[in-house]
Amino acid sequence: MLQTTWIALVLGFWSSLYLLDVFLKSKKSVARPYLSFLDKTGLTISACQVRWYTCIFNRVFLRVGQWKPHFLRIWFTLGIIFSLLAMVASIFLLSLLVVNTLRQAPVEHQVLTPVMPGVNLPTNQISYYMLTLLVCGILHEVGHAVAAVREQVRINGFGLFLLLLYPGAFVDLSTEHLQAVSPLRQLRIYCAGVWHNLVIAVLAALVLLALPGMLVPFYSLGASVVVTDVVPNSAVSGARGLKIGETVTRINDCHIKSISDWSACLSTSMQEKWTGHCLPLDLIKELDASPFTNKSHSQWEVIDCCNSTSPTHLCFMYHTKKSAETLIFNITKYACLPARPATDRPMCRLQSDCYVPKIDAACVYPAVDNETKLLRVFHGQRPPLLFLGHPLDLYYSVSLSNYVPKISIIPLNLPYVIETFCKYIISLSGALVILNVIPCYALDGQYIFHAFVELALRPAVPDPEIRSLIFSLVILFGTLLLLINVVLAMWTLLF
């Protein structure tokens, strides 16, 4: 889908929702029940945003926050240590990216790249992205809530929101209680969200590493790959093509036990100049369906010996020797042969590979250009698929998985879903760590740094105005640093 179409759909949806909200609030006959509905459900609709606020989780947060308080104290103290170290590392990393960009030094990847559906996020990955962002946001805010209960700060409520296409969560803490506790206790609360983002990223990485072992009872590994998707109307679709759920074991004589083997076999086929099959000369003459007799290469202007004889036939070339007095010449000839019987013969790369005593045989090759290959794909229990074309077309026409279900009722795409979800959690949760610890306005880093200044500098700098000045300067620097990195990332993405 085009980028402009996505933008039009998103803006159209939010405009319609906002106008509907305004209309229902202004219509006298429905305004009162509509406002009552919003109040009971906790919904709030504004420009490009929907929020849901509730108090039903307060009791759950209270129970979790009172569970093993000594352990939770150590747990959230570790979050302080990590968050302060991460703040220093994030400032250094983002500053280095800006310096390298200004010096025109190569920067392969921006750390903070805005995710835009249809631009750098495939449309079929939007559901993974939104679900991951929602899960990371919820667990981030749950960390704040549990830490707040542990530090005896009241929780007013919890909520979810959708801003354009970006879901998220928030926790409403009592400002009076929060300001009344010590800076150290404030740090435990402010750092809990970033700390939990790191924890869930590590857990996702562990699941990703342990996934092969976890799925062994249900899936086979290391023997073949399985087809999970076939591009419609591609060269390998159709009744005789590859089917979803079939295993693929070989391409020509290259065995496939994993997706990396699949890629390696296709890469090898692109590099090979010739791959043919050994046929006796008598059999070539018997099977030849050329409308003309065999002619030498010099007598053909266009190699089309089949002349569209049949879709099951293909033009092959082979070499024979001819003696003239004391000289021996190699002559290239062509034959229109049925592709499947011809390719069922032993494979060869040189004429010498076809040597059999007392039998005249030739290594026949498909008469195609250097980039076009004839590949035999062994799949399932059916005869090999004959693919004629560029190997990259085959590569992009199918999706494969290393996990082959042991029985048919096991979901074929479950390993892919788990792998993709874990990778998104690692990526997005890691990005949230880098983003939130930056001392920037409206981010956790602002409150973390403020509490740190009050904790660390109050004995050495008793004047609150000087501490406030130090805080403001650092926050201004962090905000500008973040904005510059986002602008650079947008520039790289769009231009």
Answer whether 348's CB lies under 8 Å from 276's CB: yes
* Kind of pairing between the strands at 49-54 and 155-163: antiparallel
Question: Against a cut of 0.75, is the pTM above it?
Answer: yes
| Per-residue pLDDT, 426 | 92
Q: Which residues pair with 279 in a beta bridge?
A: 362
Query: Could you tell me which of 407, 414, 385 has the C-alpha nearest to residue 398?
Result: 385
The answer to whether 141 is a known catalytic residue is: yes
Sign of CA dihedral 390, 396, 401, 406: negative
Which residues touch 284 (CB under 8 Å, ≥6 apart)? 318, 335, 337, 362, 364
Residue 164's Cβ-side half-sphere holds a number of Cα atoms within 13 Å equal to 8
Residues for the chain: how many in total? 495
Residue 454's Cβ-side half-sphere holds a number of Cα atoms within 13 Å equal to 13
Query: Could you tell me which of 474, 422, 429, 421 has the C-alpha nearest to residue 447?
Result: 474
Buried-exposed string 390-411: b where 16+ CB fall within 10 A, e elsewhere: bbebbeebbebbbbbbeeeeee
d(CA 79, CA 5) in angstroms, rounded, equals 43
| Per-residue pLDDT of the chain in tens (495 residues, 90 and over written 9) | 456 676 778 788 888 888 988 888 888 888 888 999 999 999 999 888 999 999 999 999 999 998 888 999 999 999 999 999 999 999 998 888 888 777 765 555 555 666 666 556 667 778 888 899 899 999 999 999 999 999 999 999 999 999 887 888 999 999 999 999 999 999 999 999 999 999 999 999 999 999 999 999 999 998 899 999 998 888 888 888 899 999 999 998 899 999 999 999 999 888 887 788 899 888 888 888 877 554 444 443 446 678 665 778 888 888 887 654 544 456 788 888 888 888 888 888 888 888 888 788 889 988 887 788 889 999 888 889 988 888 999 999 999 999 999 988 899 989 999 999 999 999 889 888 888 999 999 889 999 999 999 999 888 888 889 999 999 999 999 999 989 888 877 776 665
Answer whether 287's CB lies under 8 Å from 312's CB: no
Phi/psi at 210 (nearest 5 deg)?
-90, -5
Sign of CA dihedral 263, 110, 443, 70: positive
Buried-exposed string 139-153: b where 16+ CB fall within 10 A, e elsewhere: bbbbbbbbbbbbbeb
Residue with tokens 């459900």: 41
d(CA 378, CA 356) in angstroms, rounded, equals 27
Answer whether 374's CB lies under 8 Å from 387's CB: yes
| Per-residue pLDDT, 106 | 54
| Per-residue pLDDT, 294 | 47
d(CA 54, CA 52) in angstroms, rounded, equals 7
Q: Which residues pair with 45 in a beta bridge?
A: 50
HEC letters along 120-177: CECHHHHHHHHHHHHHHHHHHHHHHHHHHHHCCCCEEEEEEEEECCEEEEEEEECHHH
The letter for the amino acid at 86 is A
| Per-residue pLDDT, 258 | 92
| Per-residue pLDDT, 271 | 84
| Per-residue pLDDT, 300 | 39
